[in-house]
């Protein structure tokens, strides 16, 4: 076994174990919702703000400002979703599971297949094979989840296909921000993943996407949310 293969195997074990722990903690909280979910959101967003604030300001003040604005905006939207908009825990499970599967498939596909780099200057480790693996796997999961757990209407099919694209682009955008700041990981909190921001980068971007759908296409948003009603 080469050093590279051994390092990959160790890193993959850390990532899988971290995801298993996060699922064990988050799924019951998502299921019960309410004050438990609001508490989880508050803890995560305090941690995210701390990771942003502790980064060196000298290398990218604008990046810090934009990151904090994104956190404020997504926090407000999460509170809205939790208190008023989501009738079923299945919405949150669809949302988070699609993001995690997209990210995991991209990582595994990129490591196993390799090939041409996706964006060498922004993120030298990302490959086209990983990007496509994550995209296709995430879309299959997202659409399949909606077929089984909700009513697969037009807006649901569209969101199931678009969500992994937004997640992948959000991940790439975070890589650009970290390259601008000259950092690898925002912290070492989560083994195999880095910090909260490293783990939740695609979550923040897709929350902004959902907020855009809500603001620009309110009727489509209501149909999407209503499709989960009674399913859980």
Q: What DSSP letter does each residue of 86-129 carry, written as one string?
A: --SHHHHHHHHHHHHHHHHHHHHHHHHH--SEEETTTEEEEEHH
- Asked if residue 232 is part of any domain, the answer here is no
Instruction: Name the residue with higher pLDDT: 85 or 29.
Output: 29
Burial readout 142-177 (b: 16 or more C-beta within 10 A, e: otherwise): bbebbeebbebeebbeebbeebbbbbbebbbebbeb
Backbone φ, ψ for residue 88 (5° rounding): -145, 145
pLDDT surpasses 60 at 180: yes
Percent of the chain with pLDDT strictly greater than 70: 82
What's the mean per-residue pLDDT of the chain?
Answer: 81
- Asked if residue 30 is part of any domain, the answer here is yes
pLDDT surpasses 50 at 188: yes
- Give mean pLDDT, residues 220-227: 88
The pTM is what? 0.81
**Number of independent structural domains in the chain:** 1
pLDDT, tens only, 93-116? 899 899 989 988 998 898 888 888
Taking only Cα atoms into account, the Rg of the chain, rounded to an integer number of angstroms, comes to: 18
- Asked if residue 168 is part of any domain, the answer here is yes
pLDDT, tens only, 70-79? 888 888 888 8
- Asked if residue 210 is part of any domain, the answer here is yes
State the pLDDT at residue 58. Answer: 59
- Asked if residue 37 is part of any domain, the answer here is yes
pLDDT band at residue 184 under the 50/70/90 scheme: low
- Asked if residue 231 is part of any domain, the answer here is no
What tokens appear for 138 in the block?
A: 């995430």
pLDDT, tens only, 25-67? 888 888 888 888 888 888 888 888 888 777 766 556 777 777 7
Question: Domain residues for 52?
Answer: 3-226
Given a contact cutoff of 8 angstroms between Cβ atoms, the answer to whether 7 and 14 are in contact is: no
Given a contact cutoff of 8 angstroms between Cβ atoms, the answer to whether 60 and 181 are in contact is: yes
> Which long-range contacts does 219-225 make (Cβ < 8 Å, 24+ apart)?
220/155, 223/153, 223/155, 224/155, 224/156, 224/159, 225/85, 225/86, 225/87, 225/91
CA distance 184 to 196: 13
pLDDT surpasses 70 at 191: no
pLDDT surpasses 90 at 141: yes
């Amino acid at each position: 076994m080469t050093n590279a293969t051994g390092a990959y195997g160790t890193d993959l074990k850390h990532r899988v174990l971290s995801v298993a722990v996060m699922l064990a903690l988050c799924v019951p909280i998502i299921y019960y919702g309410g004050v438990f979910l609001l508490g989880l959101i508050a803890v995560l967003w305090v941690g995210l703000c701390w990771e942003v604030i502790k980064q060196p300001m000298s290398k990218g003040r604008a990046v810090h400002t934009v990151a904090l604005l994104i956190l404020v905006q997504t926090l407000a939207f999460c509170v809205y979703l939790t208190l008023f908009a989501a009738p079923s825990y299945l919405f949150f499970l669809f949302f988070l599971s699609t993001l995690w599967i997209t990210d995991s498939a991209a990582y595994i596909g990129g490591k196993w297949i390799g090939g041409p780099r996706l964006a060498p200057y922004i993120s030298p480790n990302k490959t086209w094979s990983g990007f496509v693996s994550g995209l296709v796997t995430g879309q299959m999961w997202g659409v399949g989840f909606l077929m089984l757990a909700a009513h697969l209407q037009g807006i649901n099919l569209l969101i199931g296909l678009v969500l992994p694209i937004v997640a992948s682009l959000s991940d790439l955008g975070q890589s650009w921000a970290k390259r601008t700041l000259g950092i690898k990981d925002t912290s070492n909190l989560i083994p195999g993943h880095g910090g909260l921001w490293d783990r939740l980068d695609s979550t923040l971007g897709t929350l902004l996407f959902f907020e855009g759908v809500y603001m620009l296409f309110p009727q489509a948003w209501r149909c999407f949310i209503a499709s989960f009603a009674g399913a859980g």
